[in-house]
Chains A and B, each alone.
Chain A
Amino acid sequence: AQTVTQSQPEMSVQEAETVTLSCTYDTSESDYYLFWYKQPPSRQMILVIRQEAYKQQNATENRFSVNFQKAAKSFSLKISDSQLGDAAMYFCAYRHNAGNMLTFGGGTRLMVKP
């Protein structure tokens, strides 16, 4: 069974600096999708970025980028130029081929200090 692990329950970053959130996963599939979701206090789940496993190039969305290491089964999220609005829970997720379901990691709470 696929599992997703986020080893950092909480992280803190100074405004305008860079922070990296870690995620590892376990799977026997060769083709899959990975996602990072943001959940602010409003509890809305917001897609931040996605990565297709067959693509070697790391995905980038403005200030958000990933470091995808397929062999190591690692999928970290880097947030550059952190802003106060980035403060939220961040969830890493793995998409199963069967049923298209997502398995989530336990989440990392990111705090941004002004």
Chain B
Amino acid sequence: GDKVKQSPSALSLQEGTNSALRCNFSIAATTVQWFLQNPRGSLINLFYLVPGTKENGRLKSAFDSKESYSTLHIRDAQLEDSGTYFCAADPMDSNYQLIWGSGTKLIIKP
């Protein structure tokens, strides 16, 4: 099965609303990264996390290594938040390789 499972796989929101995306891990990860792939295809770094939380503007992310999950919260969603969100975790014994989730496609409607 998937070592990094993202949910939901797709989500449609009205502008101005809030959402939460989740990654569950079946590996013992020590760090997590979140990326946004925008509609042009560019991969944008959002967060790089050790266990704990980080916040950047309307985005907030948490990583709980003991419970093996990470979340990404989007507050007051804007049209430019549309795209596909990926999480990627390191499996400790991977020599700096990442294990990727399959992504959450987010559509923000005006």
Decide if A and B are genuine partners.
no
